[in-house]
Chains A and B, each alone.
Chain A
Amino acid sequence: MIKLWQGYETSISYDELLETAKTPRPVAKKLYHYINSLTEEDIKARKQSAEATIKQMGISFTVYSQGQNIDRAWPFDIIPRTISRSTWDKVSSGLKQRLKAINLFIDDLYHDQKVIKDGIIPKELIQKSKNFRKECVGLAPPLNIWAHICGTDLVRDNDGEFYVLEDNLRVPSGVSYMLENRSITKRIFPELFETMKIEPINNYTSELFDMLSSLSPRKRSNPVVVVLTPGIFNSAYFEHAYLAQQMGAELVEGSDLTVEKDDCVYMKTIAGLERVDVIYRRIDDLYLDPECFLKESVLGCPGLMRAWKKGNVAIANAPGAGVADDKVIYAFMPKIIKYYLDQDPIINNVETWLCLDKKHRQHVINNIEELVVKPANESGGYGILIGPNSTKKERETVIAQIKNNPRNFIAQPTLAISTAPCLVEKGAIEPRHLDLRPFVLQGKKLFVTTGGLTRVAMKKGSLVVNSSQGGGSKDTWIVDKED
């Protein structure tokens, strides 16, 4: 339906699917022509079918608002995003390189701190880091791996290149939605899977399970792996349950676990206590163990850290790994890669100013109208100031906050992040901004998902993709050469 594309703008930023409104990129050629072969009614019907599927499959996320938990249907745009195999191969090796370096960096921070001694990272950065855990100093987790699972946010700038926006190492979520997005698309566009070479993505959960099993302190063929969730109120509960189910692992809450006198972790079963080998935790460090961190936390299990320190249980990601998940550390990532691997980064960072640095700070304050200012340790899009869309009052508040605690802020240029066609409310197709979150696993080997979770800012012109703030998502296709 050519009409649908009328007035489609490809000049605002790099468009993932189209070169111009009438010319698709080679990787999206078949998809484009296919959509054009559909009638308006066809498209509407597919969209309805996607929505019905989402409800039936109970794909939801939880928003917490006005003291209530609201379960919302997952917002999904039916037009997939395409990326070519060759582009992806490069991104994929860049992500592996990055996680490898991050891990060496974390391990170094908790041991000799050579990176500080050699003057690569300023000492006070680590001293003031909210996510540095002194309880972890000197520890050696299994295989010396701290960062097992990473969700890296990528954006594509005007030049068509991918850039890393942030590394999520604490409890990154979204992978279940990536998998569910694919199952929805398979239902609504089966024809395309026959004609296009779309790479499958369904091996993630088995890779995750293998990686987790390989961490087991007891060498046995079927270690007990559990997913530790904060419970049903958590916004990512759907994902916790989904992953446990797909892996055949036990989904546990803190109250299901106990650490006994032998410093081993057990779960309370109908047959009594059963020892746990590996915990895939979806709880932040500080809530993990009231004995060690926040005393009032009821989400974790007292004694967990004791058991972990003794090597009686593996925890992924390791406690303390979040130290590298910090937007200030992020700015040093190119140097970190160079330092540990003696390589140049395959994927670049976005240019970043550190408010900690006096010159940078002044630059940020002077140019705040054009910059994006981010707090160093928030996630979910909270606390971000987008300069061009801000009011004077908002800017003044942030400037005061920066002056008050410069370590806590960074700034980046407002990127013209890429767009892709989306089916919008009124039934037309319009460009919307998006990012990409691939997931990287690190055990004995490194693994990157084929593509990742594409998040879309569903509001026209908006750059905020977080689902908690009105973002949507799309299926992401890594497509081998089109004939």
Chain B
Amino acid sequence: MLSRVAERIYWTARYLDRIENTARLIDVYHKLMLDLPLGASFSWYGLITLNQSETLFKKSYKNEDERSIIKFFLGDKQNPSSIISSLKQVRENIRTTRDTLPEFIWILINEMSLFVEKNLHQGINRNQRIEFLDGIIHSCFQIKGLLLSTMPMSDAWYFMVIGRKIERADMTTRLLYAGAKAHFQLEEQGPTINSHQLVWGNILQTLGALQAYRKATRYAVVSEKVVHYLLEDPYLPSSISHCIHAIHTSCDHLPKKKPVIDLIESVEKNLFRSMNYRKLEEPFREYLHRLQLQIAKIHQGISDNWFPQYENDKYDNDKHNNRKSENKKHTHEQLKSNG
């Protein structure tokens, strides 16, 4: 498999997961806001901090109101992580790797693009937002289902899994961070709100893990239990433990794997060592920060080992990678050459 194709497939998977995550996140946030008592100091702007998009957001928006924030996440072309931008990236990547992916994925991604184009305003307005987000989440499920049922377990498949799991691990750390912050924010407002249930219940829901949590732990939703579950549960698809393990076993199927495997093993060894579940304040945030760096390191290792190496502008491994640097390399010189 071509290195360039491997890279595009990896990013296809990442962007696809990002779309689903963003849709779920807004869905849950939307519902959470409805549950909060009036006057709770909790705002939509939390979504912006969660994604570390403060600077970008302030560039285009004056108000931190719901509408602006929703627009920023759903339909803003300047925001490379918005649903519409991610979708465009996915479509371009699929277009350039059509020879490697199952034929039908092209049709599904076109349908999804048409759906988003047509219904975007529904998502931005409040009254049909849930339907719109559901539509996106369904499309993501459809594509994943297609891949699962038709894609051969070959190199392309493993790059898909790796991309998806890196993105998911990244998302889980972000949610844990946001959860801890919100939890303490709400606790300060007094005992009228059950912040455990409200915050952590919603985070579990964002990851589609509430039911699984109950089954696995048979315990009420309390912060340290949820944090432990999301970090260390070996079976939950969004847990850090599971993601890193899945990346490990996927890399194991690929050629020339040794440097990456060594790297992942060294990360795995110390993954939860410094974690203290009784202190979910400052030390926990530091821990999550270190965890993010570890995930970025794995991404870098994969990229160095398997993806094309660009001479001038090396890929930045930032989350908001939008592949512009690479496309610039192509010139327009051949446009008129075809009969």
Contact = CB atoms under 8 A, between A and B. Distances in A.
B264 interface: no
Interface residues of A, number: 48
A379 B99 contact: no
Interface residues of B, number: 36
Contact of A299 (B1, B334, B338): B334
Residue from B2, B255, B256, B331 whose CB has the most chain A CB atoms within 10 Å? B2
Contacts of A232: 92, 95-96, 327, 330
Contacts of A269: 1-3
Interface in B56-109: 92, 95-99, 103, 106-107, 109
A249 to B, nearest CB: 7
Residue from B97, B111, B333 whose CB has the most chain A CB atoms within 10 Å? B333
B13 to A, nearest CB: 15
Contacts of A34: none
A408 interface: no
Given A251-B98, A270-B6, A230 B334 contact: yes
A267 interface: yes
A255 B114 contact: no
Contacts of A380: 336, 338-339
Contact of B335 (A234, A245, A248, A253): A234
Contact of A268 (B2, B92, B109, B256): B2
Nearest to B331: A298
Interface string A272-300: 10000000001110010000000001110
A55 interface: yes
Contacts of A382: 336
B331 A299 contact: yes
Interface in B91-146: 92, 95-99, 103, 106-107, 109-111, 114
A172 B335 CA distance: 13
Interface string B195-206: 000000000000
A132 B88 CA distance: 42
A244 interface: yes
A284 B334 contact: yes
A135 interface: no
B211 interface: no
Interface stretch (A56-64, A195-203, A311-319, A331-339): A56-64
Interface in B313-327: 327
A234 B334 contact: yes
B151 interface: no
A321 B96 CA distance: 28
Nearest to B103: A245
B107 A57 contact: yes
Nearest to B307: A270
A162 B339 CA distance: 20
A231 B330 contact: yes
Nearest to B106: A58
Given A233-B330, A233-B332, A244-B98, A151 B339 contact: yes
B254 interface: yes
A133 B145 CA distance: 51
Contacts of A244: 98-99
A148 interface: no
A304 interface: no
Interface string A52-87: 000111100000100000000000000000000000
B262 interface: no
B94 to A, nearest CB: 9
Residue from A269, A272, A297, A298 whose CB has the most chain B CB atoms within 10 Å? A269
Contacts of B338: 171-173, 234-236, 282, 379-380
A238 to B, nearest CB: 8
A56 B113 CA distance: 9
B308 interface: yes
Given A245-B99, A269-B1, A270-B306, A55 B339 contact: no
A271 B240 CA distance: 28
B4 interface: yes
B103 to A, nearest CB: 7
B155 interface: yes
A168 interface: yes
B329 interface: yes
Residues of A contacting B: mostly? loop
Contacts of A64: 332, 335-336
A252 B2 contact: yes
B41 interface: no
A171 B339 contact: yes
Nearest to A241: B98
B337 interface: yes
A299 B333 CA distance: 9
A64 B330 CA distance: 14
A156 interface: no
A58 B333 contact: no
Nearest to A55: B114
Interface in A194-235: 227, 230-235
Interface string B1-42: 111101000000000000000000000000000000000000
A231 B338 CA distance: 13
A394 interface: no
Interface in B283-332: 306, 308, 327, 329-332
A274 to B, nearest CB: 9
Nearest to A381: B339
A242 interface: yes
Interface in B213-232: none
Interface string A372-384: 0000000110100
A256 interface: yes
B330 A245 contact: no
A434 to B, nearest CB: 17
A433 interface: no
A98 interface: no
Contacts of B114: 55-56
Given A233-B330, A271-B256, A172 B339 contact: yes
Contacts of B96: 232, 241, 251
Nearest to A248: B99
A252 B1 CA distance: 11
A40 interface: no
Interface of B: 1-4, 6, 92, 95-99, 103, 106-107, 109-111, 114, 155, 254-256, 306, 308, 327, 329-339
28 contacts: A55-B114, A58-B106, A64-B332, A64-B335, A151-B339, A170-B339, A233-B331, A242-B98, A245-B103, A251-B97, A251-B98, A255-B4, A255-B308, A268-B2, A268-B308, A269-B2, A270-B6, A270-B155, A271-B1, A271-B256, A283-B334, A287-B337, A297-B333, A379-B336, A379-B337, A379-B339, A380-B339, A382-B336
Q: Which 8 A-B pairs rank lowest in CB-CB distance, beginning with the nearest? A: A379-B339, A271-B255, A230-B334, A244-B99, A231-B330, A245-B99, A58-B110, A241-B98
